[in-house]
């Protein structure tokens, strides 16, 4: 039995972070019912985060549609409702979480997930992942350092900047896809709040409102680097010049002989750096210094030259050759693999966390299969299992697929 077996979740259909929260709950055993609109809105891409979910269609703008939802929350023993809408949407629908939803089902946990803070200056504005990163302070930390106007391929890369007579120009931050705010700071943090609320309910019997937003979520993820900005040697330098953001030569990515193939290097500790140098056939003296770059690796004055040495050395062999050299070592030097390569190699995707006594559902097809969930698919089974409802006796399916309760339903 999975950890969340028996937990019933209603997921109001939305984009990435809300469905991801529902997916995580489903993967760990929860029964998840997605509420789709009768007339779905245009979306950039289909929802593929549907493992283990079912769907019904409701017109929540109608009194009949809202009646179905409220009766289901009460009579279906629903534990969690995921609200992915902008602030004020549920209230305008007459579904105020405090005055309507919790009064309908006092044990209900209403998880509200927004992009911006509900009480901040951006609360009423639309946004996407890059916007949430931008106003959280995190986007400013991501991407390459200032670059010099000379060609990075030049052999004089390690020469002092002043001797080249070049000037530096800032590069814009680099958005990391929509992973950080949408999925990590948004959906994952929302699930964390839901689990804490479930623990609280197990002690008190009371449901509550979980307020999550992607700005606060991703800001929380950045707690360590934010505080470390005030510690010399950690994150106190401009973007791309710090220890683990691309500034350090031995925490970086290097291209191999074949263009577009790379090795990742994270040899921060002295013993790991020594193993890296052995694999690269770079000699170190007893103090960890090398004439190749003229000083100790911790001395930032040596970093330009050291980076040039590593760049040149990695370009001397193919990625496969470097893999063979570093496999089984503690050099912290591994290939940069694509999802396509992983799938072709037979790599099996797994649930995020393994539990010995309450295992999660493992993704079908090794986690590579694409599946979507059609609006209305499988939902009638959950209506019967949760609330004992049957079509024709308790509800009907209107033209367009929306569920409405029969006026004679004994509910």
Q: What is the pTM of this model?
A: 0.90
Scan for tokens 């339903």, then name that residue.
409
Q: Where in the chain is the domain with CATH 3.40.50.10540?
A: 8-114+350-405
* 252-345 homologous superfamily: formyl-coa transferase, domain 3 (3.30.1540.10)
pLDDT of res. 170: 66
Least confident of 9-13, 296-300, 324-328: 296-300
- The string of DSSP codes covering 182-197 is IIIIIIIHHHHHHHHH
Give me the mean pLDDT over the 245-262 stretch. 95
CA–CA dist 305, 302 (Å, integer): 6
CATH number attached to the domain at 8-114+350-405: 3.40.50.10540
Reported as a single tens digit per residue, the pLDDT across 261-289 is 999 999 999 999 999 999 999 998 887 78
> CATH 3.30.1540.10 in the chain, residues?
252-345
Edge-to-edge, what's the strand order for the sheet holding 251-255? 251-255, 262-266, 333-335
Q: Which two tokens stand for residue 116?
A: 């911006």
**pLDDT above 50: residue 137:** yes
Can you state the percent helix, strand and coil of the chain, rounding each to 5? 35, 15, 50
- Does the annotation count 119 as an active-site position? no
Show Cβ contacts of residue 161 under 8 Å, excluding neighbours closer than 6 positions.
148, 168
pLDDT at site 240: 86
% of residues, the chain, pLDDT over 70:
93
Catalytic residue (choose from 59, 182, 245, 394): 182
Rg (the chain; Cα; Å): 27
Residue 52 burial class via C-beta count within 10 angstroms: exposed 0-12, middle 13-18, buried 19 and up: buried
At residue 152, does pLDDT exceed 60? no
The rounded distance, in Å, linking the Cα atoms of 382 and 384 is 5
């Amino acid at each position: 039995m999975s950890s969340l077996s028996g937990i019933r979740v209603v997921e109001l259909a939305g984009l990435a972070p809300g469905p991801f929260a529902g997916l995580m709950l489903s993967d760990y055993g929860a029964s998840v019912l997605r509420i789709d609109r009768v007339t779905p809105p245009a979306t950039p891409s289909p929802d593929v985060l549907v493992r283990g979910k079912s769907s019904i269609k409701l017109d929540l703008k109608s009194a009949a549609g809202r009646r179905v939802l409220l009766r289901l929350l009460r009579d279906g023993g629903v534990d969690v409702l995921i609200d992915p809408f902008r602030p004020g949407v549920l209230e305008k629908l007459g579904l105020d979480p405090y005055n309507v939803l919790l009064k309908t089902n006092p044990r209900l946990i209403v998880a509200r997930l927004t992009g911006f803070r509900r009480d901040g200056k951006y609360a009423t504005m639309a946004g996407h992942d890059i916007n949430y990163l931008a106003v959280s302070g995190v986007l400013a930390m991501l991407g390459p350092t200032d670059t010099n106007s000379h060609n990075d391929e030049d052999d004089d890369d390690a020469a002092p900047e002043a001797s080249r007579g070049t000037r530096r120009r800032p590069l814009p931050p680099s958005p990391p896809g929509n992973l950080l705010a949408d999925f990590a700071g948004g959906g994952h943090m929302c699930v964390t709040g839901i689990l804490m609320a479930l623990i609280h309910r197990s002690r008190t019997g009371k449901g509550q409102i979980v307020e999550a937003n992607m700005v606060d979520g991703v800001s929380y993820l950045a707690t360590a680097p934010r505080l470390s900005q005030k510690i010399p040697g950690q994150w106190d330098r401009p973007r791309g010049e710090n220890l683990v953001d691309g500034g350090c030569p031995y925490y970086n990515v290097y291209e191999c002989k074949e263009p577009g193939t790379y090795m990742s290097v994270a040899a921060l500790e002295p013993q790991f750096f020594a193993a890296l140098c052995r694999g690269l056939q770079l000699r170190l003296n007893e103090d960890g210094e090398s004439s190749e770059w003229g000083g100790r690796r911790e001395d930032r004055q040596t970093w330009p030259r050291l980076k040039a040495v590593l760049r040149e050395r990695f370009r001397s062999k193919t990625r496969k050759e470097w893999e063979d050299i570093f496999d089984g070592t503690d050099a912290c030097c591994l290939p940069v693999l694509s999802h396509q390569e992983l799938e072709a190699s037979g790599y099996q995707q797994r649930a995020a966390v393994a539990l010995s006594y309450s295992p999660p559902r493992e993704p079908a097809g090794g986690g590579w299969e694409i599946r979507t969930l059609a609006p209305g698919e499988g939902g009638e089974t959950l209506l019967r299992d949760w609330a004992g409802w049957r079509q024709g006796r308790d509800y009907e399916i209107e033209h367009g697929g929306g569920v409405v309760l029969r006026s004679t339903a004994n509910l």
